[in-house]
Chains A and B, each alone.
Chain A
């Protein structure tokens, strides 16, 4: 079974600075998706960024980028120019690419990100 580990329960950063959230995962599959989700106090999970495992190029979405190291099974999220609105819980998640396989997301434990003004 796949597992996702986030080793940083809490992180804080000064507004406008850069912060990196860590994520490692364990799988025997070669094709899969990785995601970072943001969960504000409203509880709704919001997709931040996604990466297909077959793509070597790291995904980027505006101020958000990832460092995907497939061999090391590492998938970190970098937030540049941090803004107050970035404060939230961040979850790393894994999903298989198998046809007719389990479509479920496997989540990490989360990292609470605080932005200091």
Chain B
């Protein structure tokens, strides 16, 4: 497709369930980012991939959060044993550049809104 695609658009999970959120970046994009956006707040960085390598996972809030990008394209963010504080919009973004990605514009998806009940 022409843009970054995320699925599902909405996800409701009961506390304690595991969830998996998918991101399809723009074809050929090297860099991929995940952000978490709580209601009424700005997005906060979770993790960064350059191709299949996870170069920065400093923003993952706990070991219940895990992200992968095994073939350097599609990425999955998994949250185990969800808690109410995990309720947020999860945004994925990709860019064409690698190390100098600051010069390449970021393209964002529409996000997945996760609600944990």
Query: Could you tell me which A residues sit within 8 Å of B by CB distance?
Result: 4, 6, 33, 42-47, 50, 91, 93, 95-97, 99-100, 102-110
Contacts and interface: CB of A to CB of B under 8 A. Distances in A.
Nearest to B33: A104
B102 A103 contact: yes
A110 B89 CA distance: 15
Interface string B54-70: 00101100000000000
A77 to B, nearest CB: 15
Interface residues of B, number: 27
A96 B101 CA distance: 10
A78 to B, nearest CB: 20
Nearest to B59: A104
A102 B33 CA distance: 11
A46 B42 CA distance: 14
Contacts of B106: 45, 47, 105
A108 B93 CA distance: 17
Chief secondary structure at chain A's binding surface: loop
Contact of A106 (B45, B56, B89, B91): B45
Nearest to B45: A104
Contacts of A50: 105
Contacts of B33: 103-105
B111 interface: yes
Nearest to B42: A107
Given A43-B110, A96-B102, A108 B42 contact: yes
A107 B99 contact: no
A43 B111 contact: yes
A71 to B, nearest CB: 22
A108 B99 CA distance: 24
Contacts of A33: 102
A32 to B, nearest CB: 8
B72 interface: no
B109 interface: yes
B110 A105 contact: no
